[in-house]
Amino acid sequence: MSWKAKMNEWLEFEALDTNLKETLVANQGNEKLLEDSFYKELEFGTGGMRGEIGPGTNRMNIYTVRKAAEGLARFMVEQGEEKMARGVVIAYDSRHMSPEFALEVAKTVGKHGVKAYVFEQLRPTPVLSFAVRYLHAYAGVVITASHNPPEYNGLKMYGEDGGQLPPFEADIIIRYVQNAGSELNIEVADEKDLLQKGLLTYIGEKVDRAYIEAMKSIHLNDEAVERIGKDLAIVFTPLHGTANHPVRDGLSAFGFENVTVVKEQELPDPNFSTVASPNPEEHAAFELAIRYGKEVNADVLLGTDPDADRLGVAVKNQSGEYVVLTGNQVGALMTHYILEQKRANGTLPQNGVVIKTIVTSEIGRAIAESFGIETMDVLTGFKFIGEKIKEFEETGEHTFLFGYEESYGYLIGDFVRDKDAVQTAVFAAEVAAYYKMQGKSLYDGLIEIFEKYGYYKESLRSLTLKGKDGAEQIAGILETFRNDPPIEVNGIAVATIEDYEASESLDVVSGEKTTIELPKSNVLKFKLADGSWFCVRPSGTEPKAKFYFAVKGESMEDSAKKIAGLENDVMALVDRLVKN
């Protein structure tokens, strides 16, 4: 069916939501927008779905949300009554339409007799992950678009372990979604009827208390918190999202009392009015927090994204200026602290493992090796870290110690199975207290790590290419790098090419190929002769091509010079591809 025929089907649908119909009618003169809204169905992939809010099959709206929920419901019905009774936990963030979409999921699964637990107010994604396990539910759904711009929303699904669905399980659900029929014809139940039948239960405070109690298990150093906790000056911003109360409650439970919240960003706001992007990866998101930090002479600044699964950390450097640490730097500090404290406490297991993604810095591996601990690489996406935690829980092969990715996602305690900015914020405060107890800052601790393990430096460049044309350009960039790869970059030979879609690693000099034992993914990684590397992949959640760069230098200046050369050479090649 053509996009115009699909659009007309929506326009002629008598029961079409009034607001969606008005928007659709108002946009009749904008053919490019209409084509983008209807030329395909909003992709339901391994991470769920995410898109701009509005009318159309390629947009987030009550009908596309219902279709996703219908697929989940049909799958659960086939699993039998016990799974249906265990039900689905549903959470939502502060975005436009999030509460409405959450209720639509409950009404859709409820129509099939599947129990739904819905949070009575917005909650962080990691609390949803925890709640699935705590309530012994069979699945979870969270309505969020993480740190995307305000016009976006999304839906992610979770398995009974509290982790995002890994590829095999996700593919099964995707088939059910694809076979659910027209999104306009999916039936939903009435909220009041579901409440009366016990198929809808609203949840909240009890789960929150259990989550905070579980979080106490990640605490590692009593002395640091007892001596420094009351005085450690913390500035926190939830960036208009879900983390305000959970992070403050967690800090209080740990004994951190000197907490200043950025008032302008404290309350939920779907427009994220004070920031260009509600993403702690973007250093501009810390502008207000830094202003507060200067006023109170803060030891550490903490910022969470809207659904509180990503954490940014800023600290004073040796010149007394606040700098936002990268995800790799925070990961290095936490890896070192966890392993050091566990060794000192006599709780460091011989079969311990640190899990990171393939685009995350190698400094974590160097740190772990010095403690005799293995580091394992997985594909980009925290679901793969969660999948490994579940595997090791079942096999006993390894004991999970820490999981992280360069994009500000971390997990310390596995009572959650997704990246968790709430527990990580509290843990970052403990690490800061530990260093302050020694008369040092977090930045001093980072420099000590660099001096011991090498001056690792990483960067990320994103190229945004929207719409149908943009998707084709991104595919073309990957195709060129795959079929006509560079043989040298910045004057340094390419030594190894890892193609994760072909599951193949090529030694450029010898021509020898080895198998990559990871799921297939459209990712290319180029390792250079001097140990530097860069990686290219399409974003799974945004219309972007992402380029990752990493080097190891003899000093801060050396690593900065190396990464600038690497980055400039690769992006010059990309610019030529885009212009052509």
Catalytic residues: 146
Q: What is the DSSP letter of 144?
A: -
The residue among 361, 347, 355 whose CA lies nearest residue 412 is 355
The residue among 302, 328, 6, 305 whose CA lies nearest residue 146 is 305
The residue among 406, 277, 435 whose CA lies nearest residue 330 is 406
Find the helix or strand (DSSP H, E) in which 389 lies.
helix 382-395
How far CA 16 is from CA of 5, 11, 42, 59, 166, in Å, comes to 16, 8, 18, 15, 34
R_g (Cα) of the chain, nearest Å: 24
Edge to edge, the sheet with strand 311-316 lists 259-261, 234-237, 300-304, 311-316, 322-324
What is the rounded distance in angstroms from the CA atom of residue 192 to the CA atom of residue 280? 39
- Helical ranges in 297-362 per DSSP H: 327-345
| 277 φψ region: left (φ > 0), alpha (ψ -120 to 50), beta (else) | beta
Q: Annotate 394-429 with b (16+ C-beta within 10 A) or e (fewer).
A: eeeebbbbbbbbbbbbbbbbbbbbbbbbbbbbbbbb
CA 19 to chain centre: 31
Q: Which amino acid is at 135?
A: L
**Longest CA pairwise span in the chain (Å):** 70
The residue among 248, 243, 251 whose CA lies nearest residue 218 is 251
Pairing of strands 374-378, 409-411: unpaired
Question: If you write DSSP's letter for every residue of 30-95 in order, what string do you get?
Answer: -HHHHHHHHSSPPP-BTTBEEEEBSSSTTSBSHHHHHHHHHHHHHHHHHH-HHHHHH-EEEEE-SS
393: tokens are: 């829980």
289: tokens are: 């927090």
CA 217 to chain centre: 23
Q: What is the DSSP letter of 457?
A: E
What is the rounded distance in angstroms from the CA atom of residue 16 to the CA atom of residue 24? 11
- The SS3 assignment for 299 reads coil
What is the rounded distance in angstroms from the CA atom of residue 289 to the CA atom of residue 311? 13
Q: What is the DSSP letter of 186?
A: -
What is the rounded distance in angstroms from the CA atom of residue 44 to the CA atom of residue 71? 10
